[in-house]
Amino acid sequence: MERLDKIISSRTGLSRKEAKSAISSGKVFVNGAAIRSSEYKAAETDEIIFDGKRINGKAHTYLVLNKPKGYVSATEDPAQKTVLKLVPPDLMRSGLFPAGRLDKDTTGLMIITDDGDFAHRILSPKKHVSKKYAVTIDLPVTNEMAVAFEKGVMLSDGVCKTAKLEKTGEYTSFVTLSEGRYHQIKRMFGCFGAKVTELKRLSMGKFLLPDDLAEGECRELSEEETALIESR
């Protein structure tokens, strides 16, 4: 249970004073009833409507985004569009951030949350949460690349953890990582003189990018889906 003014403030970005004012003016409904007391405590399962829009009453928010090209993995940027611009208004709340980075020209699965502990668990190399990508390069994929990925490619910042490369076509492959260094896949293929021309994240842990989630779409994750992300 959580105070209503705190819920409204954290989910909308309003100050606590502004949230209290909105509640006292009759703009907040809980399970269909107008609530005018800021001290009212609501459960995360309650339906909370603020100013005509549904507010998520859960302690934390976990979203999946099918990231398109052209968006940067940041909460704000003065010159470029961020992935938070793709979060629907009814799911937006204060404190959301992308859990991990995808380059501006990389597409696919991205998790957006306000739970820092969860983000750390799925991103820490010590947790070994795998990330699978579909990759296209400008040179033929070779067995030499696959062997090197398995052994650990040497980059300027050290040897990469073991990675799996599965050839799917002359120029295409699946690559599975258990770490997330800056431009890692691009740099790994760069060791062989190859340039990555297309890169899409397909999965994290045992959670697959939903087939019915179009590029640019974002929705809330279920508890079962959130657990799958942390599964090895």
Could you report the per-residue pLDDT of 46-83, keeping only the tens digit for each?
A: 889 998 888 766 778 899 999 999 999 999 999 999 99
> What would the CATH number be for the domain defined by 62-124+207-229?
3.30.70.580
* pLDDT level of residue 11 (50, 70, 90 thresholds): confident
- What average pLDDT does range 20-47 have in this prediction? 92
**Domain edges within the chain:** 2-55, 62-124+207-229, 130-204
- What average pLDDT does range 183-212 have in this prediction? 97
163 CB-contact burial (10 Å; exposed 0-12 / middle 13-18 / buried 19+): buried
3-state helix, strand, coil in the chain (%, to 5): 25, 30, 45
User: CA 113 → CA 47, 135, 214, distances in Å?
Assistant: 20, 26, 19
Fold classification of 130-204 (topology level): Alpha-Beta Plaits (3.30.70)
pLDDT at 127: 80
Residue 153 has pLDDT above 70, yes or no: yes
Q: Judge if 62-124+207-229 and 130-204 fold alike in CATH terms.
A: yes
Give Dmax (Cα) for the chain: 68
2-55 under CATH 1.10.10.60, yes or no: no
Residue 134 has pLDDT above 90, yes or no: yes
pLDDT at 164: 97
Instruction: Say how many CA atoms lie within 13 Å of 19 toward its Cβ.
Output: 19
103, 117, 157, 211: the active-site residue: 103
Please confirm, yes or no, whether 105 is among the known catalytic residues. no
